[in-house]
Amino acid sequence: EDQVTQSPEALRLQEGESSSLNCSYTVSGLRGLFWYRQDPGKGPEFLFTLYSAGEEKEKERLKATLTKKESFLHITAPKPEDSATYLCAVRNTGTASKLTFGTGTRLQVTL
């Protein structure tokens, strides 16, 4: 069974204080690791897809990296508007569709 574990559960940063979120996964055959951002009461917003170890993707202050066992979401010089829950999900080669999500990291960025 696919498993996704995210750490930390919650993270409080000051504006400009860079940090990283971790996503460890166990999957029979990785067919994509996905990062989403979710604001309270709203649908997850797609950020990145990573397919193979060594792959990196960037978007504004966010950078996602992937190894064979984990992924990191690096946040550089965060702003208060980056406050949200960041969800990691995997899809395996044996399953046509479904994503298995981690429980997320709640990020709060303060002034």
Partner 1 sequence: AAGVIQSPRHLIKEKRETATLKCYPIPRHDTVYWYQQGPGQDPQFLISFYEKMQSDKGSIPDRFSAQQFSDYHSELNMSSLELGDSALYFCASSPTGTEQFFGPGTRLTVL
Which residues lie across from 50 on neighbouring strands? 33
The yes or no reply on residue 83 touching partner 1 (CB under 8 A) is no
- Dihedrals φ, ψ of 5, to 5°? -125, 125
Q: What is the closest distance, in whole angstroms, from the C-beta atom of residue 59 to partner 1 in the complex?
A: 13
Q: What is the closest distance, in whole angstroms, from the C-beta atom of residue 42 to partner 1 in the complex?
A: 6
- CA distances (Å), 24 to each of 13, 40, 81, 88, 110, in order? 22, 24, 26, 9, 27
Tell me the residue type at 100.
T
The yes or no reply on residue 26 touching partner 1 (CB under 8 A) is no
| Interface characters, 29-48, with partner 1 (x: CB under 8 A) | ---x-x-x----xxxxxx--
Site residues, partner 1 (CB under 8 A) = 32, 34, 36, 41-46, 49, 87, 95-104
